[in-house]
Chains A and B, each alone.
Chain A
Amino acid sequence: MKKRVIIIGLDGVPYELIRDLSEKGIMPNVTKLLSRSSFRKMRSSIPEVSCVAWSSIITGKNPAEHGIFGFTDLCANSYKLRFPDFNDLKSRPFWENSLVKSVVINVPSTYPARPMNGIHISGFVSIEIKKSVYPSTLVPVLESIDYRLDVDSDKAHKSMDLFLEDLEKALGARIKTYEYLWDKIDWEIFMLVFTETDRLMHFLWNAYLDTEHKYHQDFLKCFKKIDNVIGDILSKIKESDSLIMLSDHGFEKLECDVYINWLLKENTFLDWTVGEEAGLENINSSTKAFALDPARIYVNTNVRFPRGSIKDWDKDKVLRDLESLFTGLTINGRKVIKSICRKEQIYSGPYLEVGPDLILLGNTGFNLRASLQSQGITGKGIFTGKHTQDNGFLILADAGGEINIPEYPSVCDFTSIINGLNN
């Protein structure tokens, strides 16, 4: 009998939320699953954003190996932003590394889809349906069930009702797709990621916390629907199948945004030509460092950047100055920065050089953002939830029961876990 592995991803869902909704009876099928599984808190990537975390999950590599450092990156020798995609991923995802037939649905940062042994529908940010699907014969089927590449989050900025309506449609179509593909081919790995959870938590984390909130029930409804899918899968799988659920990062309440570039500007690390608008392309040679979202800091060195002024031997001093600036940063008496990581400490691999020099993680509630356009150090937008690095989750219901998983695994451990299951 073939050993099959089913992987369900819930984008952004924290360990505590799974426990909470299971205990409250909102996700009874998850409770059932937990009774026969290992349940772990999981560490996300640094920075804790989906593109980096999922790239690590599917390759088992760190950013200096897989080359994805964030949703945006810099063109070589330039301040111009680019948007890395699946073609920029320097390591192979697990489904391209073996001859195992796979179905992969909605994994972030896998656009554009490319040929593989099985079926692939790419996830966020996917642009055109035609380029999101392999094989292309599947496109008309997806169109006929009104498949959505993603929830239209623009809608949340206009009307929460419209957003929730759209979210429900996207989730519904995703579930239909899963149902359609389950028996379509003879797969050994079936991976399905729900990104609706992340979208929901960005805008309505407060509705989760506050049981009186107008949208509290809507929030729970999304998780109930996903729980039904888990129930459906549990009823379909065989004894020899293993089931894994995981998230790529956690979530928590967003107290305020903290604008790193504003801080750099105030402290004379960052400057742009007078009269020019704030923009990376306009920074001048007196700039010592600047940030890309969410809090990736680059030292403006002369070897790397066109208007770089920091010489190699001064770089360490700039890094130390930055570290002391961020270490001392407090807002309303609270320390803002939880940890300051030099790239060499957290990454290793052939692409280390193109990575950011420092990566910051915020303390509870502080949402770090790069932003050049902010009017002050802090702000608060429409978002009520933010990503966390230390509390994603992993649930493993292993058919053999022999796999040892670390007490506190990281996203990079994932491929070795499924390899263990497949052997």
Chain B
Amino acid sequence: MEQLEKLENQSIFIIREAYRQFRSVAMLWSIGKDSTALLWLIRKAFYGRIPFPIMHLDTTYKFKEIYEFRDKYAKEWGLDLLVYKNEKAIEDEVGPSKRKFECCTELKTNALKEAILKNKFKAIYLGIRRDEHGIRAKERFFSPRDEDFEWNYKEQPPELWDQFKSKAKNEEHIRVHPLLGWRELDIWEYIKKENIPIAGLYFAKDGKRYRSIGCQTCCEPVDSSADTIDKIIEELKTTTVSERSGRAQDKESAYTMQKLRSLGYM
């Protein structure tokens, strides 16, 4: 079996396992390429009749194209779309320019908390991948979060073969990661193979394109001339920039740390 088929079948298996285990579930759709691919897989798993809501956490700092894309396909695919905003934080003018510290926590995490508590979801599907960012390499397919939404990555339950963490206790929810084993390139090849619609921001305009899409204010496009999926795949195969370089400050840390250490400041 080809690698993409393996990944697809594995993901559908996980999607169905989680729904069977928890029933009261929802999927988090950021409208980015990963979660749109996940949505596609979920549509396949349930024969186009997704039996749970698709949730969008709206920070109000998203790109305009994202909203248009969301509304178009929510209608076309008959999604039960739930949009969540942390109204209070937005009112308090929490935002990247003003209070960068709290922006992500308030607008994303707290909105999710509120949505889960309100709807009593036991599990949430997310489109994260292991190769995407450092800490995610430690995620499991089913990752429990405690009542404070904290992830105890030191004390994770074992996940043997395809036997995943079972029912959530009342006070916790489970994050389900069907795309964990996919890589960025796999996602694009799948998008191409399945002809999955994708937001236009990923394609190069004026020599720049987005490799990942978070909030408009915290994302920077990378230099690229890839304006078709084929070109993106080609670019990735010969890639010179790691995916989140648009967002990442990580790479400068080692240097800073060394400088601080050499002066005894750390």
Contact = CB atoms under 8 A, between A and B. Distances in A.
Nearest to A198: B263
Interface stretch (B43-51, B67-75, B184-192, B254-262): B254-262
A273 interface: yes
8 contacts: A49-B265, A72-B266, A76-B102, A76-B105, A125-B256, A127-B255, A157-B262, A273-B154
A340 interface: no
A408 interface: no
Contacts, number: 58
A154 B101 contact: no
B100 interface: yes
Interface in A111-125: 124-125
A202 B264 contact: yes
B262 A154 contact: yes
Contact of A72 (B260, B262, B264): B260
A202 B265 CA distance: 11
A88 B100 contact: yes
Contacts of A351: 101
Interface of B: 99-102, 104-105, 148, 150, 152, 154, 252-253, 255-260, 262-266
Contacts of A148: none
Q: Which of A67, A72, A156, A306 has the most B CB atoms < 10 Å from its CB?
A: A306
A293 interface: yes
B154 to A, nearest CB: 7
Contact of A127 (B105, B252, B262, B266): B252
Nearest to A371: B266
A293 B264 CA distance: 9
Interface string A370-384: 000000000001010
A273 B152 CA distance: 13
Given A76-B105, A83-B256, A124-B259, A71 B266 contact: yes
A178 to B, nearest CB: 23
B264 A76 contact: no
A351 B101 CA distance: 10
Contact of B101 (A302, A354, A367): A354
A369 interface: yes
A124 B258 CA distance: 12
Nearest to A203: B263
Contacts of B99: 90
Interface in A126-161: 127, 150, 153-154, 156-157
Nearest to B104: A76
Nearest to A306: B150
A408 B152 CA distance: 49
Contact of B265 (A273, A293, A302): A293
A74 to B, nearest CB: 11
Contacts of B102: 76
A282 B152 CA distance: 11
**Interface residue tally of chain A, by bracket?**
20 to 34
Main secondary structure, interface of B, reads helix
Given A83-B253, A127-B255, A306-B150, A383 B264 contact: yes
A156 B259 CA distance: 12
A199 interface: yes
Given A49-B265, A87-B100, A273-B154, A154 B258 contact: yes
Contacts of A367: 264
Q: Which of B150, B253, B262 has the most A CB atoms < 10 Å from its CB?
A: B262
Interface in A312-336: none
B48 to A, nearest CB: 38
A78 to B, nearest CB: 9
A293 B104 CA distance: 26
Given A76-B102, A354-B101, A381 B264 contact: yes
Nearest to B258: A154
B209 to A, nearest CB: 22
B262 A153 contact: yes
A77 interface: yes
Contact of A153 (B101, B148, B152, B259): B259
Contacts of B101: 67, 76, 88, 351, 354
B255 A202 contact: no
Nearest to B154: A273
A208 to B, nearest CB: 17
Closest 9 CB pairs of A and B: A153-B262, A306-B150, A83-B256, A154-B262, A125-B256, A127-B252, A71-B265, A125-B259, A76-B105
Contacts of A273: 154
B66 to A, nearest CB: 24
A313 B253 CA distance: 36
Interface in A269-318: 273, 282, 293-294, 302, 306-307
A383 B102 CA distance: 38
Nearest to B98: A90
Contact of B259 (A49, A82, A90, A150): A150
Given A67-B101, A354-B101, A83 B257 contact: yes
Nearest to B251: A127
Contacts of A199: 263
Nearest to A199: B263
Contacts of A293: 265-266
Contacts of B152: 306-307
A154 to B, nearest CB: 5
